[in-house]
Amino acid sequence: MALVRTREIGSLRHVTELALGIGGAESNVAIGLQRLGIDAGWLGCVGDDALGERVARELRAEALDVRCVVDSAAPTGLMVKERSTSASTSVLYYRSGSAGSRLSPADIPSGWIEDAEVLHVSGITALVSESARACVSEAVDRARAAGVRISFDINYRSALADTDVAGSILRWLADRADFVFGGADEMQLVRPGLNASEAARAIAREGRREVILKRGAEGATVFIDDSVIEAPGFIVEAVDTVGAGDAFVAGYLSAMLDGLSVSERLQRANACGALLCMSYGDWEGSPRRADIERFRDAAADPVTR
C-alpha cells in the first residue's frame, strides 16, 4: 500500500506536514530479507495510478523480484499513520475495495512458488477479502505440493474480521506452516483456551513445526517439539515500532536459510526488530548484516568514518 505519515507529533486534525511512502507486512519482510542477502520476491496488486507506480518502483529499487499486478478498476490501498503523542501511534487503513484486496489465485505466476525455498504469507492478506484469501490458500497448497517450506505470520488485524471469523482461517494457515510467528494474543487466537506459551507449544507439537512467540522488547521464544529456546530483546530508544515484527521475521528466516542455530536466529531477529524501531518508517530502517554487527558490538563507535 501507499503510506502517509505525520512528520510531527500530533493528531491528523492539526498537523501541517505529511510524508509519503509505502508499507505492507509482506513487502516489509521481503525487503528485510533482501537486505540481509537473501534473494526475495514479492507478489501483489496495485492500482493503475501514481501511488501504485510508487509502490512498484520502491520495491524494485530494493532489488526484489517484483511480480506486480496492475488493476485498472481499483485504486492502490492506503495506510495512514499518526503519532498523536510521543508514546502512541495510530494506523488507519483504507483498503476496502482496493487493488490489493482484489488479488486472486490467477495472479500467481506459473512455477514462481515451486522454485522458492520458503513461501511467506500473513494473516492480513488472508483476511482482507475472499479472493485474496483464495490466493493465499492456493499459494500454500502449491508450496506444500512442491515441498517448499511455508512461513506464516499470524498478523491478526481486528479491523479485517472479528475473532470468530478470523480464528478458523488463521488456524488453517498455522496448521500448514513450517514456521509460525505471532504475539501472545495471536497464539491464543489460533489455539483458544490456552495461555500464550501453551498455545505456541500445542501448535509446535501438533505439526512438528517451529513456533516463534514474539514478545517485543522482552525478546522471543521458539517452541520446537518439547524444546523451548528463549532470547532476550535489546533495550533501545524506539521512535517508531510499526514494522518491527516484520523485520524480526526477516531476521529469523534469513538466519534459518543461512543454516544458523535457533539461538543465533533469535539473536539476529531481535537485533533486526530493535534496529527497525530506531528510525521512522515501516521498512526504511531494516538493517543489513553490517548494521547488525555494529549494533551488537557494544564497544563500536556510533559514528561511521
- How far is the C-alpha of 42 from the C-alpha of 114, rounded, in Å? 14
Q: Is the Cβ–Cβ distance between 47 and 71 less than 8 Å?
A: yes
Report which of residues 122 and 89 the model is more confident about.
122
Q: Which of 2-6, 66-70, 96-100, 298-302 has the lowest mean pLDDT?
A: 298-302
Q: Residue 235 falls within a domain, yes or no? A: yes
- How far is the C-alpha of 217 from the C-alpha of 155, rounded, in Å? 17
Instruction: Give CA 48 to chain center in angstroms.
Output: 25
Q: How confident is the model at residue 299 (pLDDT cuts 50, 70, 90)?
A: very low
Query: In this structure, what CATH number is given to the domain that contains residue 32?
Result: 3.40.1190.20
CA distances (Å), origin 163, targets 24, 79, 192: 22, 22, 10
Residue 301 has pLDDT above 90, yes or no: no
pLDDT of residue 43: 98
**Cell 494506523, located at residue:** 91
pLDDT of residue 89: 85
pLDDT of residue 87: 80
pLDDT tens-digit map of 145-157: 999 999 999 999 9
Residue 295 has pLDDT above 60, yes or no: yes
Q: What is the DSSP string of 65-133?
A: EEEEEEETTSPPPEEEEEEEETTEEEEEEE-TT-TGGG--GGGSPTTTTTT-SEEEEEHHHHHH-HHHH
Radius of gyration of the CA atoms of the chain, in A: 19
Q: Residue 143 falls within a domain, yes or no? A: yes
Q: What rounded mean pLDDT belongs to the chain?
A: 94
pLDDT of residue 88: 84
Catalytic residue among 71, 107, 246, 282: 246
| pLDDT, average across residues 214-234 | 94
Q: Residue 303 falls within a domain, yes or no? A: no
Q: Residue 218 falls within a domain, yes or no? A: yes
- How far is the C-alpha of 83 from the C-alpha of 91, rounded, in Å? 9
Sign of CA dihedral 255, 209, 163, 95: positive
- How far is the C-alpha of 98 from the C-alpha of 79, rounded, in Å? 12
Q: Residue 304 falls within a domain, yes or no? A: no
Report which of residues 169 and 280 the model is more confident about.
169
Q: Residue 301 falls within a domain, yes or no? A: no
CA distances (Å), origin 201, targets 121, 179, 213, 223, 253: 21, 13, 10, 6, 20
- How far is the C-alpha of 259 from the C-alpha of 5, rounded, in Å? 37
- How far is the C-alpha of 211 from the C-alpha of 204, rounded, in Å? 6
Q: Residue 305 falls within a domain, yes or no? A: no
pLDDT of residue 225: 87
| Segments in the chain forming alpha helices (H) | 25-35, 50-61, 123-128, 130-146, 163-174, 184-190, 196-207, 244-257, 262-277, 289-296
Q: Residue 209 falls within a domain, yes or no? A: yes
pLDDT of residue 305: 42
- How far is the C-alpha of 180 from the C-alpha of 265, rounded, in Å? 14
pLDDT tens-digit map of 6-49: 999 999 999 999 999 999 999 999 999 999 999 999 999 999 99
Q: How many domains does the chain have?
A: 1
Is 115 part of the annotated catalytic residue set?
no
pLDDT of residue 300: 56
- Domain span at 272: 2-296
| pLDDT, average across residues 113-131 | 97
CA distances (Å), origin 169, targets 43, 61, 111, 228, 253: 21, 34, 25, 26, 23
| pLDDT, average across residues 186-206 | 96
| pLDDT, average across residues 182-193 | 97
